[in-house]
């Protein structure tokens, strides 16, 4: 994949940039702007090079507008316009066209007609087979944005890591994350499995998980435990029979492992974050930040925790991706990255 810095003379060129400005919005106000701001270096690079920039993005829900994101970004990008011709123009929510998620070739061709060059600056959406991610590169010379290149570079460090290397994986969606656990048992010194992911391990150990969230099926997890590399919560916080967060003994164990590690990779909360069980996740964020070792983190709830604690600058690298980060770690590439190499 080539970086936009390798595109040559861009003066006067119309450049389509796929960004991910799908940030949380409340009362028409953007609550978090991490992904928006991480796209600015590429936009500013193109602007200085004399290109005309056409920004395309989605927002969850086809009925929703990107206007709140536009108004927020406008305070940092004075030349930004919304649905009107300008040096940097943001188009309306891609999801308003059904061809986006259907990966319609016709819609991709329609979008490609807006420009002469395509740039993918949406790492966090690059695991999706959508028209704006994998379709447009079929029609235009295509490049990686500055941030996408950094994401690939930084996350790839985990494939040949410093040791001791601790991987902390939380959240839910056990079926999709199990391959990641298996892969990193061959790379990391320890893999801590927390959040709802740990419940399936508890279940196969014969422990009572009562009404806790588990995935159906047997996954041969006892064999994974025999490696001695899998770490599970030593105690949990429960309510009405449901495991909802990690307990203090678990945090103490993690503190010791983090202190002994040269690299920590973390994705996913340790508790039911969306329903207010945030204590363990926030404590973990503080511990990793305070340790001062190399750290790579990502994931929506993980990012929310470190933003709330104002710890963003305390980590070596904070990915813009959640699912995209996990898929890249599992496969070493993504559909959006592969699409950049095909034309």
**Residue with the two structure tokens 């059904």:** 98
Please, what sign has the CA dihedral across residues 336, 337, 342, 343?
Answer: positive
Identify the burial level of 8 via C-beta atoms within 10 angstroms of its C-beta, where 0-12 means exposed, 13-18 middle and 19 or more buried: exposed
| Spatial distance between the Cα atoms of 231 and 251, rounded to a whole number of angstroms | 12
Average pLDDT of the chain is: 94
Please, what sign has the CA dihedral across residues 132, 122, 29, 40?
Answer: negative
| Spatial distance between the Cα atoms of 265 and 260, rounded to a whole number of angstroms | 14
Please, what sign has the CA dihedral across residues 149, 155, 159, 164?
Answer: positive
Q: What is the pLDDT of residue 173?
A: 80
pTM of the model: 0.94
Angle, alpha carbons 144-146-152 (nearest 5°)? 70
Beta bridge partners of 242: 239
| Spatial distance between the Cα atoms of 44 and 13, rounded to a whole number of angstroms | 14
| Spatial distance between the Cα atoms of 243 and 240, rounded to a whole number of angstroms | 9
| Spatial distance between the Cα atoms of 250 and 119, rounded to a whole number of angstroms | 43
**Residue 264 in contact with residue 258, Cβ under 8 Å?**
yes
Q: What is the dihedral of CA 334, 306, 294, 165, to 10 degrees?
A: -70
Q: Are strands 236-239 and 263-267 parallel, antiparallel or unpaired?
A: unpaired
Is residue 190 within a helix (H) or strand (E), and if so which, with residue range? strand 190-193
Rg (CA), the chain: 21
Full set of structural domains in the chain with CATH: 4-150+334-340 (3.40.50.1260), 161-310 (3.40.50.1260)
Nearest CA among 335, 300, 293 for reference residue 315 = 293
pLDDT tens, per residue, the chain with 343 residues: 999 999 999 999 999 999 999 999 999 999 999 999 999 999 999 999 999 999 999 999 889 999 999 999 999 999 999 999 999 999 999 999 999 999 999 999 999 999 999 999 999 999 999 999 999 999 999 999 999 999 999 999 999 999 999 999 998 888 888 999 999 999 999 999 998 899 999 998 988 888 888 888 778 899 999 999 999 999 999 998 899 999 999 999 999 999 999 999 999 999 998 889 999 999 999 999 999 999 999 988 889 899 999 999 999 999 999 999 999 999 999 999 999 987 5
- Side-chain half-sphere exposure of 159, counting CA atoms within 13 A: 12
**Residue 100 in contact with residue 129, Cβ under 8 Å?**
no
Identify the burial level of 267 via C-beta atoms within 10 angstroms of its C-beta, where 0-12 means exposed, 13-18 middle and 19 or more buried: buried
Nearest CA among 231, 293, 290, 228 for reference residue 260 = 293
């Amino acid at each position: 994949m080539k970086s936009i810095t390798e595109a040559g003379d861009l003066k006067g060129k119309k450049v389509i940039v796929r960004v991910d400005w799908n940030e949380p919005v409340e009362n028409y106000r953007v609550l978090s702007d991490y992904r928006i701001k991480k796209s600015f270096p590429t936009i500013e690079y193109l602007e200085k090079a004399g290109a005309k920039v056409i920004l395309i993005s989605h927002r969850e829900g086809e009925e929703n507008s990107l206007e709140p994101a536009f108004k927020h970004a406008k305070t940092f990008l004075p030349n930004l316009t919304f649905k009107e011709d300008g040096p940097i123009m943001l188009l309306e929510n891609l999801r308003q066209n059904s061809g986006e998620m259907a990966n319609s070739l016709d819609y991709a061709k329609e979008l490609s007609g807006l420009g002469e060059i395509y740039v993918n600056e949406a790492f966090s959406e690059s695991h999706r087979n959508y028209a704006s991610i994998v379709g447009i590169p079929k029609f235009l010379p295509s490049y990686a944005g500055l941030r996408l290149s950094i994401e690939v570079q930084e996350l790839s460090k985990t494939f040949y890591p410093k040791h001791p290397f601790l991987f902390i994986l939380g959240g839910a969606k056990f079926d999709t994350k199990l391959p990641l656990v298996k892969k990193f048992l061959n790379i990391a010194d320890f893999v801590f499995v927390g959040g709802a992911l740990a419940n399936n391990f508890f279940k196969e150990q014969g422990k009572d998980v009562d009404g806790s969230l588990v995935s159906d099926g047997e996954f041969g997890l006892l064999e994974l435990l025999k490696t001695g590399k899998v770490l599970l919560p030593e105690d949990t916080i429960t309510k009405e029979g449901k495991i909802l967060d990690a307990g203090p003994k678990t945090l103490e164990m993690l503190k010791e492992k983090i202190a002994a590690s040269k690299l920590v990779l973390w994705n996913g909360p340790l508790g039911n974050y969306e329903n207010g069980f945030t204590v363990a996740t926030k404590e973990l964020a503080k511990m990793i930040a305070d340790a001062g070792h190399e750290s790579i983190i990502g994931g929506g709830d993980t990012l929310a925790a470190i933003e709330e604690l104002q710890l963003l600058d305390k980590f070596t690298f904070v990915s813009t991706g959640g699912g995209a980060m996990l898929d890249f770690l599992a496969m070493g590439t993504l559909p959006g990255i592969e699409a950049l190499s095909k034309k």
